[in-house]
Structure formats: C-alpha cells, structure tokens
Chains A and B, each alone.
Chain A
Amino acid sequence: MTPPSRRPWTQHLLAVAAALHVLVVVGTGLGTAPTRDGPTDRTALAHWSLGSETVEDALVRVGARWNAGRRALLTATGPYARCCGTRQFWGMFAGTYRRSSRIEVAVKGPDGWRDVYVEGQTRDAVYGFYRFRHLARRIKSDRRDGLWTRFVASAGARALAEHEAASAARVRVVAATIPKPGSGEGRRYTRVVKSGEVAR
C-alpha cells in the first residue's frame, strides 16, 4: 500500500468526493427521525423507549438534532442529489392501515349498474400496470389537484367506448375495514368514499 504522505493529491480529491457522496446517501437515505407530531411516530417512540419517558425524551432530542442536520445537508447537497439521482428514501409499508379502498368502474345498461372493473379483482392491462397502481393511490386520496375529476372523465369515457349499449358510466372509490388476523370476517367493500358519473 502506498504510504499516505506520498499519495498524489488526486487520490485525496477522490476521497473527498467519495466522502461527500456517502454523506448525501446516508443523509437522504436514512430519512427523518420520529417526532411526537404524528400518531405513527408516537407509536414507534413508545415502543422503542419501552415505556420510559426519560428514554423517549432522549430519543426525541437526538432525533431533532438528526433532523436539523439532515435538513441542512439536503439543502447544501440538493443539486448534486437531483442531477445524479442519488436521492434515496424508501418507506415501504412504513405505516399500517386498518382500512383498504378500491376503485370500481360500472356501466349502466337496461338492467341497471354492472361492474366492469374492480381494483384487485379484474385484470386490466392499463389499470393493473404497476406504475398505474402508484397513481391509483393518488387518485383515491386526491382532493385538490383535480386528478379525481380527470380520472372519472377518462375511465368513464373508456368504459362507454368499450360497452356500446351502456348509457352511463360510474367511477367510485369504495372502502372496507381490514379485520384483525384470524377473525374470519373478510373485507366488505360497502362504504362509498367518492363517486362520479359520465353520461353518454
């Protein structure tokens, strides 16, 4: 191994660049520490501190310092992370939800409404495509962007084009409660969260 003092300056430069990259990856990747602001974080803090308030206070203090340092780091290295795609945070299944909702598309015929697409049950090349599944979450929760309205128009028009005898199409988000494990109750999608119709 080359003695450190004899290393060319280019090697030190490479090491500085590598150290900065590591900082960006670790800073953006490890995400934020829990605070007492949300119910999910409060649940985690309670478990990690084993019920001790002293430990919880210490965790919150250290977490607040980490979050402040991380914010400063992200501000300073933002352009590098954006240009090079090195931003990294991955919160897969981070929260736990007792509720499930699905998109349903129905058409109106002489015999009334008939489902033509039910998320999670009907196979559909477009709606079943994995990138559309990300969007479906956003469509269900959309309140301001107008995405829900645009989706109703688009899905309604598509359903009417595919079912010529239909006089109208309806798009709904229907919710169910996920029962506790082993309860044998099953999910019943009955609560309509939002609904929109398109007439021919």
Chain B
Amino acid sequence: MRLWDRWVGVCTERETGETLAAFRILIGAVLLNDGIRTLLSGAVGPLFLPESAGGLLRPRTLHWLVVALGGRETEVVTGLFGAAPLLALGLLLGVGGRWTALLTLQVHLALRSLSHHVSGGYDLVLSNGLWLLFLSSCTATWSVDCRVRTGRWSSDRLVWALPRTLLVLQLVVIYTATGWGKRGFGWFWPYDGLHYSLLRVGYPRFDLGWLDAVPWATRLGTVVTWYWEALFGVIGVWFAARRGWLGARADALARRFDLRGLWLGIGVALHGGIWATMDIGPFSGATVAYYAAFVDPTEWRKLVQGFGTRRRSSEA
C-alpha cells in the first residue's frame, strides 16, 4: 500500500511548464523539418499515392482519418501532407493547446498508415512524444497560447509533472531495448558491429569504405554504443533519485554526482556522429528532443534567461 501511495504521489507532482514547452518546441521543429523535406523530396508520389497515381505500395490497414476523408485518394494524401507541416508549426509555436498535439498525432499516424514500409523507429518515437504532449499542459508557457492568456510569453502556471516522467521512462526503454536487442555477432567480441553496419549500403550519406582502414575506431564505437545503450537505465535511476523518490540519501548522491553531463553528452556525440554519416531522417532529432525531459523547469528558465542576457549584452 505504501508503494501505491508513493506512486500516486509521483503521478500527482506539479511543476512549472518550461521542460514540457521545450520538448514541444523541439518535437514541433523535428516534425516541421520532416514535413517540409518530405514535400520537397518528390517522393510523395511513389511512396504514398495509390498505384493508379504512380505509387509503389499497397497499404495494409488505413488509419481511421484516411478512411473518414474518403480513402487513399490523391487529394486526401496531398491534403494530409499539406496539413502536417502546418500542424507542426502550430505545435512549435504553441497554438491550440494540447489539441494541436492530438491532431498532429492523428495526421502523423494517418500518413504512416498509407505506407507501412517507409516508417522507421523514429516515427514511433515521434508518435509517443505527441501522445505525451496531448496528455500534458504543453502550452502553459513559452507559447502563443500563453501570450494570449496572460499577455506574456512565459508563465509560472503549474502543470502535471507526470508527462515529463513518462518521457524519461520512454527514452530509458528505447535505449535499453535497443542495446539488449543488438544480438548479432558483431556486437560481441571483437566488436565489429559498427564496421558491418556502416559498410552496408542503405543509410550512410556517402561511401564509408575508408573505415576499413581504421578498425580500432569502429570497435571503440561499437563498445561505447552497446554499453551506453544497454546501461541507459542508470540515468533513469539517477532521475528517480534526483526527484527524491528513492529517499534523502539517494537524492543527496544524485545532486553530488550529476550523471547527465556524461550520459547525455555521450548520447549527443553518438547522435551527432550518426547524423553526420547517415541519413535516417528525424531519428537523431526526435530522440535528442527527449533529452529535454532530463532538464528541470528551473534549469530551462535559467538557460533561456542566460541566453537572453548574453544576447542583450552582445547587442549593447
């Protein structure tokens, strides 16, 4: 019973909304970029349109929104692709409260249902994030909604902290699963997983054949990637301790040893490396957006205020 009471306590904590606002802005930016790149790629036709209009794929089960709009017709598909970046912009700016997040999620799922072979894990990361944004008061601050409501761009209104906790859990599950899911021979001694992955044609931006000459680099990358992913739960425990859920002693330890610099720093470096060498669409952006959840609202506020102060002093 005590455990349940503690859980209810965790679920009903409140805080100011800067962290959720930062996550909303980042996810909005990632979706906006994805939407614009998709429109400009010229690939909408072959990937998403019906066969009669030059499409290559036959969808399995269409999302309810596509069915409600009249099915997989050219006008429906182009309409949804036109709406997606606009909704992403709305999310980024913080217009329409949580309902924009819900509508963006439904359009995202509808577009993915048109063509199940062209989705990546990042689409699930994005849809998870959008659902958690819908469950949160994500436009409480740093939003057009806030400006309309209070006359200011920021607000001290308290929001449920639970969505932020669920974002952290999501990221921990993603990385842990990815690490323990790496079961091919290359992920064990002598650690040649990255060598074989990067030398396959598919996602690399350019030919990485030169990597063959530096096996120590790919081996080091394999080791760091695997252990960092498989042990990502450590930063989850740190987060729980830092929130005070594991007792005063754990809280004091977490305050003394801030693991975020190391764990999230490695993550940013890995995703930066992946982004530089491979084109996996919104993969790196969508995942790194979740890192925002590890930063407390007060820390976000200080960061933004510090940025504003630096900008004003440089202008003066």
Which A positions have Cβ atoms within 8 angstroms of B? 1-2, 4, 7, 11-12, 14-15, 18-19, 21-22, 25-26, 29-31, 34, 40-41, 43-44, 47, 84-98, 100-102, 119-121, 125-126, 128-138, 145, 147, 150-151, 154, 178-187
Contacts and interface: CB of A to CB of B under 8 A. Distances in A.
A102 B9 CA distance: 54
Given A90-B177, A181-B192, A21 B166 contact: yes
Nearest to A103: B201
Interface of B is mostly: helix
A25 B181 CA distance: 16
Interface of B: 1, 4-5, 7-9, 11-12, 37-38, 41-43, 46-47, 51, 54, 56-58, 105, 108-109, 115, 117-121, 124-125, 127-128, 130-131, 162, 166, 169-170, 173-174, 176-178, 180-188, 192-197, 199-204, 207, 209, 212-213, 215, 218-219, 279-281
Contacts of A40: 183-185
Contacts of A184: 212-213
A88 to B, nearest CB: 5
B279 A88 contact: no
Contact of B176 (A15, A19, A21, A30): A30
A6 to B, nearest CB: 11
B41 A126 contact: yes
B183 A120 contact: no
A75 to B, nearest CB: 17
B122 to A, nearest CB: 8
A128 B280 CA distance: 11
Top 9 A-B pairs ranked by shortest CB distance?
A85-B127, A96-B184, A96-B186, A181-B215, A44-B183, A4-B5, A130-B281, A90-B121, A29-B173
Nearest to A89: B177
